[in-house]
Homo-oligomer: A and B are copies of this chain.
Amino acid sequence: MEDMSEHPLYRMLHPRSIAFWGASSDPTAMGSFQLAQMLAMGFEGAVYPIHPREKKIMGLPAFAHVKDVPGPVDLAVFVLPTRVVPEILEECGMAGIRRVIIVSGGFAEMGSEGKELQDHLAEIARKYGIRMLGPNCIGVVNPYVKLNTTFFPYDARPGFIGMASQSGSFVTQMFTHLNHFGLGFSQAISVGNEAVTDITDCLKYLSLCPKTKVIGLYVESIRRGRDFVRVAKEVSKRKPIVAHYVGGSESGKRAALSHTGALAGPDELYDGIFKQCGIIRAHTSEELFDFCFVLGTQPPPAGNSVAVLTHSGGPGAAAADEAERSGLAMAEFSSKTLEGLSALLPGTARMGNPVDLTFNRNPNDYAQSIPAVLLGDSGVDSLFIYLLLPSHRVAQVITSLGASPEQAANMASDFVKAQASLVLSLTPRFGKPVVGGSYCMREDQFIRELQDRGLPVLPSPERAVKALAALSRYARAREALLSERGA
Chain A interface residues toward B at CB < 8 A: 27-28, 30, 36, 105-106, 110, 153, 165-170, 173-174, 176-177, 180, 218, 220, 244, 246-252, 254-256, 258-260, 283-286, 312-318, 320-325, 330, 347-348, 350, 352, 354, 356, 358-359, 388, 392, 396-397, 400-401, 439-441, 443, 459-463
B258 and A441 form a contact (CB under 8 A): no
Partner of A105, one of B248, B255, B260, B358: B358
In the complex, which of the residues A28, A169, A254, A316 has the most CB atoms of chain B within 10 Å of its own CB atom? Answer: A169
Which B residues are in CB contact (< 8 Å) with A441? 176, 180
Give the docked Cα–Cα distance between A459 and B313 (Å): 27
6 interchain residue pairs of minimum CB distance: A167-B314, A252-B321, A27-B400, A259-B313, A169-B312, A255-B317
Chain B residues, Cβ within 8 Å of A463: 284, 286
Which residue of the partner chain B has the closest CB to A350? B258
Residues of B within 8 A of A36 (CB): 396
Complex Cα distance A440/B152, Å? 12
Q: A439 contacts which chain B residues (CB < 8 A)? A: 173-174, 176-177, 285
Whether the pair A320, B249 counts as a contact (CB closer than 8 A) is yes
CB distance from A186 to the nearest CB of B (A): 19
B residues less than 8 Å from A396 (CB atoms): 27, 36
A321 touches B246 (CB 8 A): yes
Instruction: Report whether A321 and B462 are in contact in the complex, using a CB–CB cutoff of 8 Å.
Output: no
B254 near A320: Cβ-Cβ < 8 Å:
yes
CB pair B354–A318 under 8 Å, yes or no, is no
* Known A248-B321, A317-B167, A325-B249; contact A462-B286, beta-carbon cutoff 8 A: yes
For A388, the chain B residues whose CB sits under 8 A away are 173
Within the complex, the shortest CB–CB distance from A410 to chain B, in Å, comes to 19
A to B CB contacts below 8 Å, 20 in the list: A27-B396, A153-B392, A165-B314, A173-B315, A174-B439, A176-B440, A176-B441, A176-B443, A180-B441, A246-B320, A246-B321, A248-B321, A250-B324, A252-B324, A254-B352, A255-B316, A259-B313, A284-B462, A285-B462, A286-B459
Question: Which residue of A259, A356, A460 has the most chain B CB atoms within 10 A of its CB atom?
Answer: A259
- B-side contacts of A260, CB under 8 Å: 313
Cα(A220)–Cα(B313), bound, Å: 10
**A315 with B169: in contact, given A285-B460, A321-B252, A321-B255 (CB under 8 Å)?**
yes
Min C-beta distance of A384 to chain B, whole Å: 12
Q: Which chain B positions have C-beta within 8 A of A358?
A: 105
Q: How far is the CB of A274 from chain B (nearest CB, A)?
A: 15
- A260, A314, A315, A352 interface centre (most CB from chain B within 10 Å): A314
In the bound assembly, the distance between CA atoms of A255 and B106 in angstroms comes to 56
Which residues from chain B contact A320 at a C-beta distance below 8 Å?
246, 249, 251-252, 254-255
Partner among B153, B180, B251, B330 whose Cβ is within 8 Å of the Cβ of A251: B330
Q: Are A352 and B258 in contact (CB under 8 A)?
A: yes
Task: Tell me the smallest distance from the CB of A116 to a CB of chain B, in Å.
Answer: 17
Nearest CB on B from A336, distance (A) = 21
In the bound complex, how far is the Cα of B315 from the Cα of A285, in angstroms? 9
Question: Least Cβ distance of A414 to chain B in Å?
Answer: 18
Residues of B within 8 A of A166 (CB): 314
What distance in Å separates the Cβ of A249 from its nearest Cβ neighbour in chain B? Answer: 4
Inter-chain contacts of A322 with B (CB < 8 A):
284
A457 CB to closest chain B CB (Å) equals: 13
Would you call B105 and A318 a contact (CB within 8 A)? Answer: no
Q: Which of B249, B348, B461 contacts A106 (CB 8 A)?
A: B348
Q: How far is the CA of A352 from the CA of B27 in the complex (A)?
A: 31
**Minimum distance in angstroms from A54 CB to a CB of chain B:** 15
With CB as the reference atom, state the residue of chain B lying closest to A354: B255
A258 to B165, CA, bound (A): 45
Contacts of A169 in B (CB 8 A): 312-315
Residue from B167, B283, B460 in contact with A313 in the complex, judged by beta carbons closer than 8 Å: B167
For the complex, give the distance between the alpha carbons of A105 and B357 in Å: 13
Expressed in whole angstroms, the minimum distance between the Cβ of A290 and any Cβ of chain B is: 11
A460 — which chain B residues lie within 8 A by C-beta? Answer: 284-286
**C-alpha gap A323/B324 in the complex (Å):** 26
- What residue of chain B has the Cβ atom nearest to residue A256's Cβ? B317
Q: Which residue of B lies closest to A250 (CB)?
A: B324
* Of listed A36, A255, A285, A356, residue having the most chain B CB within 10 A: A255
| Residue in B closest to A174 when the chains form the complex, CB atoms | B439
Closest residue to A58 on the B side, CB-wise?
A: B400
What residues of chain B lie closer than 8 Å to A401, measured between beta carbons?
Answer: 27
